[in-house]
Every structure is written in C-alpha cells, then in structure tokens.
Amino acid sequence: MPGIVKLLFKDNIVSVELDNGEFLNLSYDAYSQYKISSGMNIQGDLYSELYEESRKIECRDRALRYLSVRARSVDEMVKYLRKKKFSEIQIAQTTGYLKDKGYLDDYGFSTGFVKCKMKSGRFGADIIIRDLYRKGINKKIIDRAIKECGAGDPDMDKLYELALKKYNSLEGKENRVAKVGNYLRGRGFDYDSIKKVLKRLGEGE
C-alpha cells in the first residue's frame, strides 16, 4: 500500500506525494475530511477515494484551461473532457460547477458566437446556424440567439463589400454576377439579401 511522503499546501490545493512517485491533488475540504498526514499508509478504499477526489480537481482544472482560450459550448466541453478520459460522473460534476459559476452557458456562448460572425460580415445566418448545431447547441437556443442578434437581417453595406470583392476577383471570367451569387449562398446568406446585392452589382457594371 502506498504511503504519504509529503504534503504541499499551495493556493487552495493540497498536493500529496506518495512513496510510489504518484501525486494526488486534494481540496482543503477533502484534506480535512480524510485527516491525512505525512507518513500515513493509504488503504485500498481510502486510496480509491483520494484518487477520485484528485481526478475531480484535475478535471476541473483541465476544463478551466480549455475555457481560458475561448468560450465553449457545453457539448464542446463534454467532448473535450471525454477525450481526456475523465469519467461521466467527473464530467457531470465539472460541467455542473462551471454552469453554476456562469462559465458554461450555451445561450451566452451562442449570442457571442453570432455577434462575432456578424461583425466580420463574411457569414450569413444559415452558416452561423449550421456551426452552432455542430457545437451541440439546441434549436431553441439557436433561434433565440439569431433573433436577439438580428442575424437574419445582414448588414447590406458589408454584404455588398463582400460581393464586390468577390466580383472583382473574377475579372475576365464569364457570368461573374451569377458566380458571386453562388459564393454568397455558400456563405450562408439568404436569397432575398443576395438578390438585392446582385442587383446593386449589376447596376454598377
């Protein structure tokens, strides 16, 4: 059975060094609950419980680091933690904690995602909706976010600039206006908006 070599207290974590070279990280609550100390031998059941506590902390730390890069959907977080081999219980505890803290919020994530895409002016609602589905966001939340952000009504000046840039890149090609229309449709813009911007392009020829 492994024995405790040393306890290291740092921030809100107690790092437990075992004589088999392993390290377990525990919360102060767990440290107090299990009343562990240097030189103590860890029995089988106790080791399993301490290991589980350590994995919970590791799972939470991994999740917070993952969030530090950018906001994530709940589904993105769950898939990431599964890849890191955490148990379903550990994942549920971690995502529950993050939701309670407001760090995981699919609606907030969705509105931020929509606004970012809209700001670029390069993507229409259909592409934004598709990408949100891929991130595991449910239809009700997507519909709310799209409506809230006005993604169904693209900025026509930005759309014209995008169309004009594509149009100019096709200089010397046949059916430029039609090709621009196909390009914009592929970017997720609606037919009515495309029709208006193509008319404007045609008038400028």
Residue 81 sits in the same domain as residue 32: yes
Which of the listed residues 84, 101, 118 is the one where a domain comes to its end? 101
Residue 24 sits in the same domain as residue 94: yes
Residue 69 sits in the same domain as residue 43: yes
Which CATH number do you get for residue 190?
A: 1.10.10
**pLDDT above 60: residue 35:** yes
Residue 49 sits in the same domain as residue 12: yes
What is the extent of the structural domain holding 124? 106-149
What pLDDT does residue 204 have?
53
Tell me the CA distances in angstroms from 105 to 97, 110, 116, 133, one per residue in order: 12, 8, 17, 15
Environment class of 30 (CB within 10 Å of its CB; exposed 0-12, middle 13-18, buried 19+): buried
What pLDDT does residue 203 have?
64
Tell me the CA distances in angstroms from 62 to 23, 82, 171, one per residue in order: 16, 11, 50
Residue 28 sits in the same domain as residue 86: yes
Residue 122 sits in the same domain as residue 77: no
Supply the angle between the helices 106-120 and 125-134 in degrees, to the nearest 10: 140
What pLDDT does residue 179 have?
95
Please tell me the distance from the alpha carbon of residue 37 to that of residue 4, in angstroms, as a whole number: 7
Mean pLDDT for all residues in the chain: 93
Q: Is the pTM of this model over 0.85?
A: no
Residue 24 sits in the same domain as residue 87: yes
**pLDDT above 90: residue 170:** yes
Please tell me the distance from the alpha carbon of residue 136 to that of residue 104, in angstroms, as a whole number: 13
Which residue's entry shows tokens 């549920």?
A: 92
CB atoms within 10 A of CB 135: 18
Residue 15 sits in the same domain as residue 31: yes
Tell me the mean pLDDT in the region 27-48.
89
Q: Is 51:63 a contact under the CB 8 Å cutoff? A: no
Our separate counts of H helices and E strands in the chain read: 10, 3
Tell me the mean pLDDT in the region 144-151.
94
**pLDDT above 80: residue 48:** yes
Residue 8 sits in the same domain as residue 97: yes
Q: Tell me whether strands 4-10 and 13-18 are parallel, antiparallel or unpaired.
A: antiparallel
Q: How many domains does one find in the chain?
A: 3
What pLDDT does residue 57 have?
95
**pLDDT above 70: residue 205:** no
The H or E element spanning position 23 is strand 23-27
Which of the listed residues 133, 149, 165 is the one where a domain comes to its end? 149
Residue 52 sits in the same domain as residue 73: yes
Residue 54 sits in the same domain as residue 27: yes
Which CATH number do you get for residue 77?
A: 1.10.10.10
Rounded-to-10 torsion of CA 153, 156, 158, 159: 90
Residue 82 sits in the same domain as residue 28: yes
Give the residue from 36, 19, 18 showing the smallest Cα distance to 27: 36
- Over residues 18-32, the pLDDT tens digits come to 999 899 999 999 989
- Over residues 63-120, the pLDDT tens digits come to 999 999 999 999 999 999 999 999 999 999 999 999 999 999 999 999 999 999 999 8
What pLDDT does residue 152 have?
86
